[in-house]
């Protein structure tokens, strides 16, 4: 069955088409430039942009795949978590589309979709796997039995800021644009990771994270430099911050695999696009005999393919569809 997936939880309008685990199209429209001068996503602007982009993005995805509306067998949509007004546009569009075509509707969880997208590149996930989910709003370790039919088991999560949020805040204090992940990743390539920023909660035996102290430590270090009149070595600060984040995330992810006797780690969410996180995870998984799966960077940040991927898993597994009463839930639990 051909599944059309719609993603509108934040500032990306994404439409993906997946058939039997094969990605056929992935169209994206972003309102990121409209938010840039505010230093973060403005909910009303995002919702309005989704409304304008929705139909053209669906048309673009169908065009990429050379398919027509009537070829679609099911519609999947992000039901939460995310910005309420933004989610509502996607959910309303998906309902209308499903109703008009007379096909089933599947509401899916945005974070589960960040994990499910990996199946498009690397095939079915072994069960159970451990997932490290690192995005703009979340940072969690999850035990994943079957994505389509069984709930994931949370092993730990950030107690304060998400990893992506820390990237965005540190970028801001270094004078880099929003979102901060890509410019920090780029700047870090020319830097040395020799500033000893803290690794909060490292080795504490939990699978929880904390990034707010790290952000404060970077801010203090940069302020002290500025006060002394010395230039701020931006590349070194970026590299050292990035190393601290990647170090804690990968150490805890490997520990979670060991603790649960799991031999596959999958990393998802926007921060999974980070080059140092990918490299360090590869090193540590290799050393621990763990198979690492990370989607290509373009599939880590928000997109429609991930929603179609999870929708496709549900359809193929025979999961009952959602009703047309499906709600957009900004704080949807996993």
Task: Name which of 62 and 332 has its Cβ closer to Mg ion.
Answer: 332
Nearest in space to 235 (alpha carbons), one of 175, 166, 177, 189: 189
> Is there a binding annotation on residue 51?
no
Whose tokens are 């990743």? That residue is 185
* Candidate list 78, 135, 140, 250; residue touching Fe ion; CB under 5 A: 135
Site membership for Fe ion, residue 78 (CB under 5 A) = no
Site size for Mg ion, by CB under 5 A? Answer: 3
CA-to-CA separations, 287 to 220, 283, 313, in angstroms, rounded: 35, 6, 31
Q: Shortest distance, CB of residue 118 to Fe ion, whole angstroms?
A: 14
Task: Name which of 167 and 197 has its Cβ closer to ligand ATP.
Answer: 167
Q: Shortest distance, CB of residue 205 to ligand ATP, whole angstroms?
A: 25
Site membership for Fe ion, residue 302 (CB under 5 A) = yes
H-type helices in 102-233, by residue range?
110-116, 118-122, 163-173, 181-188, 212-227
Contacts with ligand ATP by CB under 6 A lie at: 9-10, 82, 110, 114, 135-138, 164, 167-168, 179-182, 185, 269-271, 273-274, 301-302
Contacts for 303 with CB less than 8 Å, ≥ 6 apart = 7, 12, 14, 16, 26, 28, 117
Site membership for Fe ion, residue 11 (CB under 5 A) = no
Span from 41-49, 174-182, 221-229, 298-306 in contact with Fe ion (CB under 5 A): 298-306
Task: Name which of 12 and 168 has its Cβ closer to Mg ion.
Answer: 12
> Is there a binding annotation on residue 181?
yes
Q: How far does CA 64 lie from the centroid of its chain?
A: 24
* Distance between CA atoms of residues 17 and 23, nearest Å: 6
Q: Shortest distance, CB of residue 42 to ligand ATP, whole angstroms?
A: 13
Span from 11-19, 72-80, 117-125, 285-293 in contact with Mg ion (CB under 5 A): 11-19
Task: Name which of 65 and 271 has its Cβ closer to ligand ATP.
Answer: 271
Query: Strand locations in 45-104, DSSP E?
Result: 74-80
Nearest in space to 115 (alpha carbons), one of 305, 244, 327, 278: 305
- Token code pair at residue 197: 């920023």
Q: What is the phi-psi region of residue 261: left when phi exceeds 0, alpha when psi lies from -120 to 50, beta otherwise?
A: left
Residues 280-309 that bind Mg ion (CB under 5 A): 302
Asked if residue 85 lies in contact with residue 47, where contact means CB atoms within 8 angstroms, the answer is yes
Q: Which residues bind Mg ion (CB under 5 A)?
A: 11-12, 302
List binding-site positions. 110, 114, 133-137, 168, 181, 185, 274, 302
Q: Which residues are annotated as a binding site for substrate?
A: 133-137, 168, 181, 185, 274
């Amino acid at each position: 069955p051909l599944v059309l997936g719609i993603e509108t939880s934040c500032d990306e309008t994404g439409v993906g088409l997946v058939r039997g685990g094969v990605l056929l199209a992935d169209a994206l429209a972003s309102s990121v430039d409209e938010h840039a001068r505010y230093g973060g996503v403005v909910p009303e602007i995002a919702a309005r942009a989704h409304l304008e982009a929705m139909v053209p993005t669906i048309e673009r995805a169908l065009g990429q795949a050379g398919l027509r509306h009537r070829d679609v067998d099911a519609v999947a949509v992000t039901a939460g978590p995310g910005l309420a007004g933004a989610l509502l546009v996607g959910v309303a569009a998906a309902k209308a589309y499903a109703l008009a075509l007379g096909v089933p509707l599947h509401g899916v969880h945005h974070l589960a979709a960040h994990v499910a997208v990996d199946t498009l590149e690397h095939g079915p996930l072994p069960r159970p796997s451990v997932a490290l989910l690192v995005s703009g709003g979340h940072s969690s370790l999850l035990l994943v039995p079957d994505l389509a039919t069984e709930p994931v088991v949370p092993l730990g999560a950030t107690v304060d800021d998400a990893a992506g949020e820390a990237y965005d805040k540190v970028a801001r204090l270094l004078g880099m644009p929003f979102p901060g992940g890509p410019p920090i990743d780029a700047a870090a390539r020319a830097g040395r990771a020799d500033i000893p920023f803290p690794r909060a909660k490292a080795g504490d035996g939990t699978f929880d994270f904390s990034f707010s102290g790290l952000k404060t430590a970077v801010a203090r270090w940069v302020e002290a430099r500025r006060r002394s009149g010395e230039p701020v070595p931006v590349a070194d600060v970026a590299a050292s911050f990035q190393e601290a984040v990647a170090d804690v995330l990968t150490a805890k992810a490997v520990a979670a695999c060991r603790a649960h006797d799991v031999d596959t780690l999958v990393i998802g969410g926007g921060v999974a696009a980070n080059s140092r996180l990918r490299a360090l995870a590869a090193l540590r998984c290799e050393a621990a005999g763990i198979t690492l799966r990370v989607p290509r960077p373009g599939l880590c940040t928000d997109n429609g393919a991930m929603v179609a991927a999870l929708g496709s898993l549900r359809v193929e597994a025979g999961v009952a569809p959602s009703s047309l009463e499906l709600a957009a839930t900004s704080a949807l639990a996993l």
